[in-house]
Amino acid sequence: MKEGEVVLLENVRFDKREEENDKEFSKALASLADIYVNDAFGTAHRAHSSTAGVSEFLPSVSGFLIEKEIKFLGDSLNNPRRPFVAILGGKKVSDKITVINNLLEKVDTLIIGGGMAYTFLKANGFSIGSSICEEDKLDLAKELIKKAEEKNVKLLLPIDVNVAKEFNENAESKVVNASNIEDGWQGLDIGPETIKTFEEVLKSAKTVMWNGPLGVFEFEKFAVRNK
């Protein structure tokens, strides 16, 4: 490269070694640079080659955007305007254990959606059909539900969900009660009553923190947005 030139790489997610945090792939990426600057706050937690992997082979620092995000989060967590509401989505409870535990010490309301909600729903004794569930985290989910009660934190789970026969954007789908999903059906999004319930809580919130999607937004029919 000449001075002033920029190299633009193809999206590393096209290479399966990225999510595997493959050491040789990380080395190859690192060989293109002298220093690694991570300014992608939303992906900084991932143990992938382009995040954690590269940093093992190059001097690494955070960028100004991450600095801004950390400052904002620190202020919001340490001195929030109340009511303080947090929304957590995504697939796995295991990815958010530390976050949930910390938030239960600070928030007034914790909203849980996305794939991780089905582990909590099953922990409550509900039928979740073929929905994603971390069976080995059911006891943990029960502990977190109990902790929310002890801390007087309102923990909100979906009350209705949009379910499908298969994980496919064109799959047959319908809205059902979140406490009784039939076998062979899997939850892919929150339902209209859940949206209304969450909206009511958010209307009065003074501080809102949101991490993770509440549905399979990649598929149009499971990416409903209220107008």
Q: Specify the pTM.
A: 0.76
Whether 139 and 179 have beta carbons less than 8 Å apart is answered as no
In order of their start, the domains of the chain are 13-65 (no CATH), 81-222 (3.40.50.1260)
Instruction: Give the DSSP per-residue string, 69-109.
Output: HHHHHHHHHHS--SSEEEEE-SS-STTTHHHHHHHTTT-SE
pLDDT at 227: 45
Bridge-based pairing of strands 109-112 and 60-62 is: unpaired
Neighbouring C-alpha atoms within 13 Å toward the C-beta of 221:
15
C-alpha–C-alpha distance, residues 122 and 196, integer Å? 22
Per residue in 9-53, pLDDT (tens digit) is: 899 999 999 999 999 999 999 999 999 999 998 788 789 999 999
Mean confidence (pLDDT) of the chain: 93
Place of tokens 């969450």: 198
Residue 166 has pLDDT above 70, yes or no: yes
- Per-residue pLDDT, 97: 87
What integer is the mean pLDDT of 68-94?
88
Q: How confident is the model at residue 225 (pLDDT cuts 50, 70, 90)?
A: low
Largest CA distance in the chain: 63
Q: Are 128 and 182 in contact (CB under 8 A)?
A: no
Q: How many helices (H) and strands (E) does the chain have?
A: 7, 11
Render pLDDT for 66-78 as a digit per residue (tens, 0 to 9).
998 888 778 778 8
pLDDT digit string (tens) for 194-223?
999 999 999 999 999 998 899 999 998 898
Two tokens, residue 153:
């934190």
